[in-house]
Amino acid sequence: MRLLCAAAVSLGLGLLVVYAGDGKAEGAEKLTALKKKFETEMAELKDRFKKASDPGDKRGVQVEMRELVALTADKALAIAKDDPKGDTGFAAAEFVVTAAGEVRADGLTEVDAALALIAEHHAANPKVKDLLAPAMRLGAGGDKLLVAVSEKATDKEAKGTALFIRGFKAARNAEEEEDDKELAASIAKAIDLFERAVKESPDTKVGRSGSTIAELAKKQTQMLKEIVIVAVGKPAPEVESLTLDGKKVKLSDYKGKVVLLDIWATWCGPCRAMIPHERELVKGNKDKPFVLVSVSADDKKDTLEKFLEKEPMPWVHWWDEGGESPVLKKYRVRAFPSLFLIDHSGIVREKWVGNPGDDKIDKAVEELVKEAVKAKG
């Protein structure tokens, strides 16, 4: 009787083992078939996108691509959840992330779930390195995977790459940051991540350029250190530009005078609305230590010159490559008009994005002009 029971147990266990093995094999087969179907359908959509000439048609195909990713991701995720810690689970989640990254299908619940599964169970898998670039384009879910890999990875290349990408994203955020304190914090965070990436895996190549982490981190860090925080109470960054007749000028040429640096464009409605008051401001401060410098962001100097022929603006004008002007870059101009009021000693005393109002400008200029006159004796 005992032998029969033992045999029955053995047989039962054998059946269980075979069943479990069959389940994993079945999952792998389903995934292979799913990939093949997806690749065929995506290839057809890419061909349609390439042939489409109308922008609306192209956008329509892009929507279809995203829908295909969502439908396929749902099925792949089901396979991954049946074997979350195993090879098939990783392969299924990997497929979702790669497919989503290709068409920037961020924000999809299924994609975020696949990213979370990899972050939880496979952050230490060396193969995860290949998913870091797609993850970079997949929003908050991708960011979580980057953090998980940079903290849990045992593979130095994967860890170094994750740290570098996090640094790159922090650097990009810094370039768009408007608040001075947040800007300083973003710069410090990016530099720290770059330093950690170099320490972890300096010779790992990233990106299509084939450059190493050490090379790219050095370049990015240098760019970050060149970002100037234009803050009230701090010296105005020195900048050079060109007058309309091509003469080289720099901000420090006006030291001893109050400078209202007005960064604008002829196509900017709020900028044009300020012109009548600016004329009065210049007229009211004639023969006083004050200068209004308008820096145009127009793409072509000819556009500005033709505008000035019709609209009297009798003060200093700078133009140097329009939107690519060194002034706009150094002063990190993101909107128009942007105004910087600088005192006679070169300190930024006011910073405005948009028109702060005639009275506010008049009062601030008047006070600083009095200081300049007093300082001159």
How many CB atoms lie under 10 A from the CB of residue 197? 27
124 and 184 belong to one structural domain: yes
**How much is the pLDDT for 18?**
39
34 and 148 belong to one structural domain: yes
Strand pairing report for 290-296 and 316-318: parallel
- DSSP line for 39-103: HHHHHHHHHHHHH--SHHHHHHHHHHHHHHHHHHHHHHHHHHHHSTTSHHHHHHHHHHHHHHHHT
219 and 259 belong to one structural domain: no
306 and 342 belong to one structural domain: yes
**How much is the pLDDT for 22?**
56
267 and 292 belong to one structural domain: yes
User: Is the CB of residue 277 less than 8 Å from the CB of residue 271?
Assistant: no
Q: What domain range is 118 assigned to?
A: 11-225
Give a yes or no: residue 133 inside a domain: yes
Give a yes or no: residue 40 inside a domain: yes
What CATH number did the domain enclosing 334 receive? 3.40.30.10
**How much is the pLDDT for 238?**
95
- pTM over cut 0.85: no
Give me the number of domains the chain comprises: 2
Residue indicated by tokens 């401060």? 285
167 and 246 belong to one structural domain: no
221 and 315 belong to one structural domain: no
202 and 177 belong to one structural domain: yes
Paired strand residues for 235:
347
CA pair distance 157, 205, nearest whole angstrom: 9
89 and 207 belong to one structural domain: yes
**How much is the pLDDT for 1?**
39
275 and 137 belong to one structural domain: no
Q: Which of 225, 258, 287 is the last residue of a domain?
A: 225
296 and 211 belong to one structural domain: no
CA pair distance 306, 97, nearest whole angstrom: 52
Q: Which of 225, 258, 280 is the last residue of a domain?
A: 225
**How much is the pLDDT for 9?**
36
**How much is the pLDDT for 227?**
80
What are the 10-residue block averages of pLDDT along the chain, 377 residues in total?
38 39 78 96 95 93 94 95 95 95 87 96 95 92 96 96 96 80 90 97 89 94 83 93 97 97 97 97 97 98 98 98 91 92 97 95 98 92
User: Is the CB of residue 259 less than 8 Å from the CB of residue 342?
Assistant: yes
207 and 292 belong to one structural domain: no
Give a yes or no: residue 231 inside a domain: no
Q: Which of 197, 225, 253 is the last residue of a domain?
A: 225
**How much is the pLDDT for 174?**
83
Give a yes or no: residue 364 inside a domain: yes
